[in-house]
């Protein structure tokens, strides 16, 4: 497996502001994923971040709200823009090693509270 770290681990933000979450993998990976886990809910895929191309967003998520960067094979950022209390969630990044697509490994998550 590989190790994923995320920064920040948690934050409390004001409505209307933006927060950028960083995700670092200790190995080079092709695909990185961003998930959201709202309180009491399951993990929902926001987007897939591929190095060298635009992120692919899932239904219900748009680039203007959740811009993603993927500057190299070990790093990605997710920005939560113009936040509202409904954006309060745990945000997780994940990836997988070659040959193990389905067996994703996850970062520890970023717990975001929007006031």
Partner 1 sequence: DQQVKQNSPSLSVQEGRISILNCDYTNSMFDYFLWYKKYPAEGPTFLISISSIKDKNEDGRFTVFLNKSAKHLSLHIVPSQPGDSAVYFCAASEGDKVIFGPGTSLSVIP
* DSSP bridge pairs for 43: 37
Nearest-approach distance from CB 107 to partner 1, in angstroms = 5
Among residues 107, 83, 80, 75, the alpha carbon closest in space to that of 20 is found at 80
Residue 106 interacts with partner 1 (CB under 8 A)?
Answer: yes
**Piece of 12-20, 43-51, 63-71, 79-87 that binds partner 1 (CB under 8 A):** 43-51
Binding flags for partner 1, 79-98, as an x/- string (CB under 8 A): -------------x-x----
Residue 101 interacts with partner 1 (CB under 8 A)?
Answer: yes
Nearest-approach distance from CB 104 to partner 1, in angstroms = 7
> Coil, strand, or helix at residue 63?
coil
> Coil, strand, or helix at residue 85?
helix
Residue 77 interacts with partner 1 (CB under 8 A)?
Answer: no
C-alpha distance from residue 2 to each of 25, 34, 53, 69, 80 (Å): 7, 16, 23, 20, 26
């Amino acid at each position: 497996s590989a190790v994923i770290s995320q920064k920040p681990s948690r934050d409390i933000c004001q409505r209307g502001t933006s927060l950028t979450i960083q995700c670092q993998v200790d190995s080079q990976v092709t695909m990185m994923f961003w998930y959201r886990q709202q309180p009491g809910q399951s993990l929902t895929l926001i987007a897939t971040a591929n190095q060298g191309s635009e992120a692919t967003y899932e239904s219900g998520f748009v680039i203007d709200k959740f811009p993603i960067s993927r500057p190299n094979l070990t790093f990605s950022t997710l920005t939560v823009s113009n936040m509202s209390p409904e954006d309060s969630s745990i945000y997780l990044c994940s990836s997988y090693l070659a040959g193990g697509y389905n067996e994703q490994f996850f970062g520890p998550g970023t717990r975001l509270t929007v006031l």
